[in-house]
Structure 1
């Protein structure tokens, strides 16, 4: 790569072009730099410069290179070492910034520089590593792919079973029932029996078992063996030895003339069985996503003129009016324009109670209309709906790499080559001790077959897939899979107050006119000024005023402190004690008693003179106390961070059972509070995802409380689809269960290999005379993967 083009963001004028060119030219080795404002592209000769240096220089200058993301379905991966090879091949492409493979989902997610790398380059890189890839969405759906894979493996297993069973009975039947051996020898003859086994075993290897050889052997030749290579080498060793014993017995010592056709045939059969069971279980792991995708209906009733016509859901556009009959699913996001009903939102929020909907209320795609008829206006359609966003979010979380996965990736990349080396050493050791070539072969083949990186590779992604899917069913969405690990490690859970622990619907409880103003006059000015604010306190004041009010001639929100407005030519200032003091407004001390009762107190000044003191009260959410208590029982510290006064905050905190209160802080002060708490350990912050953005970003895990239509899905790592604080408890519990499940899987996957590879090599033979059969090794290997997948599936009941 020498001559390249980059798409650049942020170019708006000739000055931007000059600064971008200077940034690139400043990178040593880059030459022939040209930036085009019309196409927003930069062309250059890289020379000796590194592409990463160029992109960093552009980012620093404020004109980052544009990146794209794509998802590919990867075929042919059979174990964890395949994951490492695919990732390494794609990351090796100049211009790829990130590449992550989910073995459980069979998907590759790539982020790359636009115009530097193409989808075709990525597919070619995957192919060079020995696998096939297609861009997601261009072929069959995930459900169709899974069904096809399961059906294919089932068919292969049944064919292999039908062919391998006679081989197994002919060779092993005499061990189970000795007279059977004499009957076979007397009826068919031993040589004819071996030839028959050769025919059937050859059919097993060539037909249902061919993938082990067509995939495994080429990768072995490339020096990048995978699980297929282990199976191919092990079964071919047993098969080849048996062919020599059958057709050229003179090449072997007289005491070593035995066949292992049954081992080769049964190994292939058992591994196919294991992969079939694994694929079936993996399909169940993705059920949560499949259910979400299926929530949106395919047919709708759209208003055309004065009548409603049935049409495809894909034909709906923003602004269309739709009719919802009783019992149908809502097809898109929008609002009720006519009618009244109850809507079941449990599939998205996890809440069992249906929600009453009437004119003006929001509707979410995928929810179910109850007994009433509704008309709605479509506002967000297709990929813009909350449901589509949730599906994308969960899919992205499921391919995330947890920090704990780094060790597994390092081990599995070298696992297969090390096992093959250990198998060779086993063979040589047995021959060196004069135990005979037959025993040496059995031990070496057993080592190859029993070693299973599949279980190690599935341990983490399967648990993530099932855990994030279960979270989606409960109304808890993990935007990033690694948030699971960080959330499981938190020591402190910090809450915002208004709208998180409290209902967020404060009511005006006290209003006292001061400074010679009449109460009605002061309330009229305050309500008029607050009309432009969306703050819950502002809505409470406006709701308390009766009658007409003038319009504010100007309005300014003062972050975290209050508002300033001009009403009927007079300057109105509303806000906290701090704001009043900063503006030089004289106050009295009447607020203390109200704050001690848990009320939030604010002041109003008109033309710089104190005009009113008022208080609002906001009730705790019903499950707030139980949530805090449960968090304490889990050993977690709870903190409330709020801009409210210390006395009012302490009252609410005591009512909820919160350990610590940090009050009277500005939005940026919340960030400082989070950083101070982090000195004691990892912190999760629960807030509304908009006003609390600094704290959400500073926390180890940001948990956004939403209502399902909130854009909070884009502002935190974990999103709760309802405002109930107990969903934060669900998120922490689920994260802990997922991490415990991952550790269980990793322990058994590593312990399995650590314990059984030496046994397969013959460690127990000097003590017991017992040597592990390759067939038992194949069965144990298959069961290890099935165990890991089955253990992960337990999370579906979490």
Structure 2
């Protein structure tokens, strides 16, 4: 549905939108984790972790670490049997999620982190139980791997909990949209009496009354009354839209200052809001394209560890005996377990998330940080994103030398002081700030479609839009401003320019984007003139008069061209493209539904924060890659050594040294994550 053109002559039309608050339904972050726990959220991992802790701690205390007894460890008769029992319970309780994940990975023919963890815990568990049973049957003490088994499960559960917590819980965009529609409507019956009726029972052709300040219950057309309606949440249009008989209205928009009688034209699935909901659903169901690198690395490690351990088993079986072969095989598989790799990403995510949050950057989908690095184009909404979204007096000029500026300001404030429209309020606020008292007017009335007129001290005044005034005045007008002319007895005596001002940091943002090689494209529901003025000032390309469907189509077209798209917006109309874009950035106190549809929420409506997000994305991705290198790199060295590749020259990696290496790589990964920093805000 296209919104009505906003180029009305009446200067009161130029109103601002009251954006509310906005965010997004994560559609894919669980895929990062390996297919096995799409349905988990951080509450599940928290529960699993804390449920596994009472089982894991006794195991760690009662089991030597790869043959070395640490200071906090002790044993007593049959403690190894207790450890084996506790490990069996831990495997069933804490390990189950990894097996589910591994099964899903194998189904997708893409073994990754879950397969590797499952392999490590299975081999260490089976071998350790075998070692305990053999020790009691034969009297020969064999080394077990219960410590490694328990620590791996606990560390991986902790890593997943940190990650899921950082990623955040999903919002519900459809629900937020539905809440814009009131629950009840005032149905006008044939005898003109009013009956309250649930909105769900409204039918095409019903007549409803909507009082000032109420949300309109359904799409329809005005049959009685005149008012101004705020459609900003739905169309992104920054001005209140005049509605009179025969004009169409959208369900969910807010009626302004007078009662309207509306004949219902669309309800339920056919309504505008339902169509926006469908667009969001469609966008969110589109699969994510980015693959999780840690999972890929874990996949390589899975095959490498499996291959090396099989080779090691066969070679040592030939060179030595079965026990030696089993020991080298198990050591290889246990050392391959990705302790550091499992924490490499979650630790950076946790650091990045808290760092971002302290700057008002709420990252809901980790993938957004990775994708932002590859971005080719950023599609920006205008109102409330690049501009303040509120109309302000940019300039007052005197057009007749016999008048002082104070007198003109006083007359402007006087003729507007009886009006509650935001434009009028901004003029009155301007006079107050300038310490000018409004001139008293005897009567003020609206000139339909042109402006206002009134009498003061026996003189007739008019405040008309530039279009209605019709004469060319040789005056400098601020870019993109709306101009009204003050007329006394037919003579122009003053001019007021009002504009939706650019935010202070908008120009810096565009500069940053250019430096990063990201193209900026402004897509706005506003009219051509308002859009061109802002785009020219920033030196960027633009498209105007964009309906929600247009913006959605624009993002879809850019993606089909193979571009990675960041969408920045803050209205309900931005929700579908926010969800469809590779990265959706919801700006500021916009609507709840746009927040539900975004990957990242910038709480402060400051374009400078968009630049900070790009910086955070780059630094976070760099840290992730460094950590992956550490986490996996140690394995590429340790696995062959654990398999005994240097045994012929007398060098074998004892399990104890392997364990120290494993711990060391985990510590390095943790410290590296903490070094993630953002530049101070200018």
| TM-score, with structure 1 as normaliser | 0.48
Partner of 1:395: none
SS at match of 1:707: coil
Of 44, 57, 66, the match for 1:107: 44
Matched, 1:228 2:228: no
SS at match of 2:63: helix
Of 480, 483, 488, the match for 2:373: 488
Matched, 1:744 2:626: yes
Of 635, 652, 656, the match for 1:771: 652
> Is the CA contact (8 Å cut-off) linking 1:641 and 1:663 kept in structure 2?
yes
Match runs of 1:279-428 below 5 Å: 403-405=289-291, 419=305, 423-428=309-314
SS at match of 2:628: helix
Partner of 2:262: none
Change (3 A) 1:100 1:460: farther
Partner of 1:701: 583
Distance 1:221 1:661 in 2: 51
Per the TM alignment, residue 631 of structure 1 is displaced from its structure 2 partner at its CA by 4.3
Partner of 1:5: none
Of 390, 393, 400, the match for 1:507: 393
Distance 1:738 1:621 in 2: 27
> Is the CA contact (8 Å cut-off) linking 2:380 and 2:522 kept in structure 1?
yes
Distance 1:721 1:470 in 2: 14
> Is the CA contact (8 Å cut-off) linking 1:565 and 1:573 kept in structure 2?
yes
> Is the CA contact (8 Å cut-off) linking 2:513 and 2:520 kept in structure 1?
yes
Q: Report Cα offsets for 1:467-489 as digits up to 9, x if no partner.
A: 33432332122344433333232
Distance 1:429 1:543 in 2: 87
> Is the CA contact (8 Å cut-off) linking 1:528 and 1:550 kept in structure 2?
no
Distance 1:199 1:697 in 2: 60
Change (3 A) 1:86 1:164: same
Change (3 A) 1:634 1:277: same
Distance 2:542 2:330 in 1: 65
Of 640, 646, 660, the match for 2:540: 660
Per the TM alignment, residue 762 of structure 1 is displaced from its structure 2 partner at its CA by 2.0
**How many residues get paired?**
492
Of 460, 463, 481, the match for 1:600: 481
Change (3 A) 1:495 1:739: same
Partner of 1:470: 355
Matched, 1:449 2:449: no
> Is the CA contact (8 Å cut-off) linking 2:417 and 2:425 kept in structure 1?
no
Change (3 A) 1:665 1:457: same
Distance 2:506 2:84 in 1: 64
Partner of 2:223: none
> Is the CA contact (8 Å cut-off) linking 1:530 and 1:542 kept in structure 2?
no
Change (3 A) 1:714 1:162: closer
SS at match of 1:446: helix
Partner of 1:177: none
Partner of 1:157: 60
SS at match of 1:730: helix
Per the TM alignment, residue 710 of structure 1 is displaced from its structure 2 partner at its CA by 6.5
Distance 1:721 1:783 in 2: 38
Change (3 A) 1:791 1:663: same
Partner of 2:606: 724
Distance 1:155 1:84 in 2: 29
Q: Report Cα offsets for 1:283-313 as digits up to 9, x if no partner.
A: 77788899xxxxxxxxxxxxxxxxxxxxxxx
Distance 1:241 1:160 in 2: 17
Change (3 A) 1:526 1:785: farther
Q: Report Cα offsets for 1:33-84 as digits up to 9, x if no partner.
A: xxxxxxxxxxxxxxxxxxxxxxxxxxxxxxxxxxxx99xxx9xxxxx99x65
Distance 1:538 1:477 in 2: 36
SS at match of 2:476: helix
Distance 1:401 1:447 in 2: 36
Q: Report Cα offsets for 1:551-604 as digits up to 9, x if no partner.
A: 7699xxxxxxxx889999xxx9998x9xx6xxxx7955548x534x43513469
Partner of 1:202: 80
Structure 2 gaps of 5+ residues are 1-24, 104-117, 169-285, 401-407, 432-437, 455-461
Distance 2:575 2:486 in 1: 30
SS at match of 1:662: strand
Change (3 A) 1:509 1:659: closer
Change (3 A) 1:527 1:721: same
Partner of 2:325: 440
Distance 1:85 1:705 in 2: 31
Per the TM alignment, residue 620 of structure 1 is displaced from its structure 2 partner at its CA by 4.8
> Is the CA contact (8 Å cut-off) linking 1:529 and 1:566 kept in structure 2?
no
Q: Report Cα offsets for 1:486-527 as digits up to 9, x if no partner.
A: 32322344545554344445215247999xxxx999979995
Distance 2:287 2:661 in 1: 28
Change (3 A) 1:751 1:530: farther
Per the TM alignment, residue 686 of structure 1 is displaced from its structure 2 partner at its CA by 3.4
Match runs of 1:84-95 below 5 Å: 84=34, 86-87=36-37
> Is the CA contact (8 Å cut-off) linking 1:456 and 1:746 kept in structure 2?
yes
Distance 1:218 1:662 in 2: 52
> Is the CA contact (8 Å cut-off) linking 1:653 and 1:659 kept in structure 2?
yes
Change (3 A) 1:416 1:160: same
Partner of 2:265: none
| TM-score, with structure 2 as normaliser | 0.54
**Bigger relative CO (Cα 8 Å, ≥ 6 apart):** 2
Change (3 A) 1:673 1:525: farther
> Is the CA contact (8 Å cut-off) linking 2:583 and 2:599 kept in structure 1?
yes
Distance 2:371 2:414 in 1: 49
> Is the CA contact (8 Å cut-off) linking 2:81 and 2:132 kept in structure 1?
no
Larger displacement relative to structure 2 (272-281 or 501-510): 272-281
Match runs of 1:600-679 below 5 Å: 600-602=481-483, 614-617=496-499, 620-638=502-520, 643=526, 658-662=538-542
Distance 1:260 1:480 in 2: 49
Per the TM alignment, residue 232 of structure 1 is displaced from its structure 2 partner at its CA by 1.1
SS at match of 2:571: coil
Partner of 1:268: 146
Change (3 A) 1:415 1:667: same
Distance 1:574 1:696 in 2: 39
Structure 1 gaps of 5+ residues are 1-68, 75-79, 88-98, 109-141, 170-195, 248-258, 291-399, 555-562
Partner of 1:735: 617
| Root-mean-square deviation (Å) | 5.9
Q: Report Cα offsets for 1:142-165 as digits up to 9, x if no partner.
A: 5x8766655664454234359976
Of 431, 435, 439, the match for 2:317: 431
Change (3 A) 1:444 1:594: same
Partner of 2:571: 689
Distance 1:454 1:158 in 2: 19
Distance 1:680 1:788 in 2: 34
> Is the CA contact (8 Å cut-off) linking 1:153 and 1:272 kept in structure 2?
yes
Q: Report Cα offsets for 1:717-774 as digits up to 9, x if no partner.
A: 32221122222122222222332233333334443444432322222223x2222223
> Is the CA contact (8 Å cut-off) linking 2:370 and 2:621 kept in structure 1?
yes
SS at match of 2:651: coil
> Is the CA contact (8 Å cut-off) linking 2:36 and 2:98 kept in structure 1?
no
Change (3 A) 1:288 1:417: closer
